[in-house]
Amino acid sequence: MESNSLIKKIEKAGLLGRGCGTFPVAKKWSLVAAQKHKEKYVICNASESEPGIFKDKYILEHFPEKVIDGMAIAIRLLKAQQGFIYMKPDYYHQFGKKIQVMIGDDDIEIFAKPMESYIGGEESAMINIMQGERLEPRLKPPMITEAGLWNKPTLVNNVETFYDISLIAQGKYNQERFFCVSGDGFGRHVLQMNENSPVKQALEKVGWPDFNFFVQLGGAMAGTCLRSGQLEDYTIQHYSGLVVRDMEKDEHELILDWLKFFASESCGQCVPCREGTYRLYNMYRQGNYDKQLFSDIIFSMRNSSLCSLGKMAVEAVSSYYTNIKKEALGSDGGEGRKCD
């Protein structure tokens, strides 16, 4: 299949990246294809760092052949030197040997993520680790599509994205995606639904909670907090899952968990994130904090952090105040993602 023909098929399918960025896949492939450099690389990101999201694990367990096929298609189309599957440690231990056998003669290597870390799932930080460098994101530009692994043009896509590429190439793609549901009173569920399905429908499929609840859409740490009445307003296309939260559980402990998580996961490279996550956690832990100062720190992190970790580290807290408590943290910073 000619490269332009497949990219046009991907574009026609409207496929968005199935990680957290949801960047148009056809555009990313076109950017790499347009690079004149003879040496290119393809990386499958199987880090899946966000707690509460586990659909990539499900795919690696049940459909690894489609992920490998999608990668092989990308390698051929881009004339790449090699492909890599970047796996979080426990996925490597569970699926590494099986997938290595399935790779066969394809020029694909499994790279085991050396440690469990949130920032290690960011594509430029991931590439730094693969090169034996410091675990931190890169300044952009240049983008990874221009100067990625070994400063060569590099395509990085999520596990589910390569799964979908395989389906598109076979003419079997039907706008479905995988979606996780878990949380208080729930087990772990992976649904496969039309990407335009409302989030409410996904929750109804596993059983509507019989207690007062809210959800975190997008994961257990960086996910946006929404009331049950807001779920009709969102489709699953841009999200990998949701986590159900019991409203009766300790609010202080929940918010403290969010803040502590990002205070410990920040790579420390940029001041807004390094100082912001630390100060938010300690202010909230000590109590009787200045809400305006708390709000100002959130505003600063959102608008000046180097990478998405610093920007998303405050999403759960700010959206909780906006959508669940319906309170303002301060005059500027605590807006959250308004969904009324």
pLDDT in tens, 198-251: 999 999 999 999 999 999 999 999 999 999 999 999 999 999 999 999 999 999
pTM across the whole model: 0.94
Q: Which domains does the chain have, with CATH numbers?
A: 3-169 (3.40.50.11540), 176-246 (3.10.20.90), 251-325 (1.20.1440.230)
Q: What percent of the chain is predicted at pLDDT more than 70?
A: 96
* Long-range contacts, stretch 252-256, CB < 8 angstroms, 24+ apart: 255/284, 255/316, 255/317, 255/320, 256/281, 256/284, 256/285
Q: Using CA atoms, how far apart are residues 226 and 71, in angstroms rounded to an integer?
A: 36
pLDDT in tens, 82-113: 999 999 999 999 999 999 999 988 999 999 99
| Beta-carbon count within 10 A of 180 CB | 25
Maximum Cα–Cα distance across the chain: 63
Q: Where are the beta strands (DSSP E) in 240-329?
A: 241-246
pLDDT in tens, 267-321: 999 999 999 999 999 999 999 889 999 999 999 999 999 999 999 999 999 999 9
